[in-house]
Amino acid sequence: MATLADIDTDGLTRVVTFPGPVHPAATLAPHRRGPADPTYQVGADGAIWRTSLLPTGPVTARLERTDAAAVRAHAWGAGAAEFLAALPAYLGADDDWSDFHPTHPTVARAARQAAHLRLGRTDRVLEALIPAVIEQRVPGVDAFRAWRTLVGKYGTVAPGPAPARMRVFPAAEVWARIPSWEFHRANVDPGRARTVVACARRADSLERLASRPAAAARAAMTSLPGVGVWTAAEVAQRAFGDADALSVGDYHICKMIGWTLLGHPVDDDGMVELLEPMRPHRHRVVRLLQVSGLAYEPRRGARLPVQNVREL
């Protein structure tokens, strides 16, 4: 992978300095949909390459930590200036957890070990919503493959010197016109395909949710057919930086929380009860456990089978 000095620099640059440690890889990791995500790649030098479709146009950004408390971003494309203007929020500069005082010893330890974790926000609702819908009720490897297939075919080529095969998230009108057989070829069942198309058709109203309080925005999303509590939480975590958006209904998270904090698995109701005293930071607790390396869930049994809807 070429370094910034080796590539075309006809773009825009911004350096964001934080009052304490920052770790962009930890903050941005939830945006990566598998190791071959066409919208998110990590270079051999550790730099993060990210694409996005903003109101002003597509953007490719390269982000690298220049020291313990600073991140430099270089951006190309029509959306470059808009992306860099929102960069502090994207990297979690607005994330305030000064009122978070965990009493559970494992959570407190995680907070100390992952003090660099910041929850960022993109304000891009559809970019978080569509991949979340694709990930509903299926193993991650299958969802990542479907995401890669659809964005690879319908996304536009990333501007600037992006790594090969990087693409920009397709526009809402493109998602709305994807024929049913293309979803079928990507192994996305008709129910999820209908939800993707319906969300794309309501993109304008969905994007306006970024200006509403996160809890209200989550509630509004669940009024859409095919969008439940889990999907709304996954969107709120990424688009709004919602520290309390707990992914109720996730196959793994409730078990991980139970094993890590109690030494045995719990179901969703048990997780909600266990994390209730940690409002409004329940999602933060999950991320702190993951980033600190303290999250624990023993492997038991076979992985979920991949459903091949192309054979149905």
What pLDDT, in 10s, does the model give residues 84-105? Answer: 999 999 999 999 999 999 999 9
Mean pLDDT, the chain, integer: 94
> What is the domain range of residue 206?
125-240
pLDDT score, position 171: 98
pLDDT score, position 312: 54
One-letter amino acid for residue 24 of the chain: P
One-letter amino acid for residue 113 of the chain: Q
Per-residue pLDDT tens over the stretch 165-192: 999 999 999 999 999 999 999 999 999 9
Pick the closest to residue 162 from 80, 15, 40 (CA basis).
Answer: 40
Q: How many domains in the chain?
A: 2
CA 59/CA 220 separation, integer angstroms: 29
Q: Which two tokens stand for residue 67?
A: 């020291």
pLDDT score, position 301: 54
In a domain, 272, yes or no: no
Per-residue pLDDT tens over the stretch 189-198: 999 999 999 9
Pick the closest to residue 62 from 206, 200, 159, 187 (CA basis).
Answer: 159
pLDDT score, position 311: 55
* Residue 206 parent element (H or E): helix 203-207
Q: Which two tokens stand for residue 108?
A: 């407190």
Residues 152 and 87 both lie in one domain: no
pLDDT score, position 295: 97
Asked whether 162 and 149 are in contact (CB, 8 A), the reply is no
Residues 233 and 147 both lie in one domain: yes
pLDDT < 50 stretches in the chain:
1-8
Asked whether 48 and 73 are in contact (CB, 8 A), the reply is no
Residues 133 and 232 both lie in one domain: yes
pLDDT score, position 98: 94
First-residue to last-residue Cα distance in the chain: 42
Domain at 188, CATH number = 1.10.340.30
Q: Look at residues 191, 212, 240 and tell me which one is the last residue of a structural domain.
A: 240
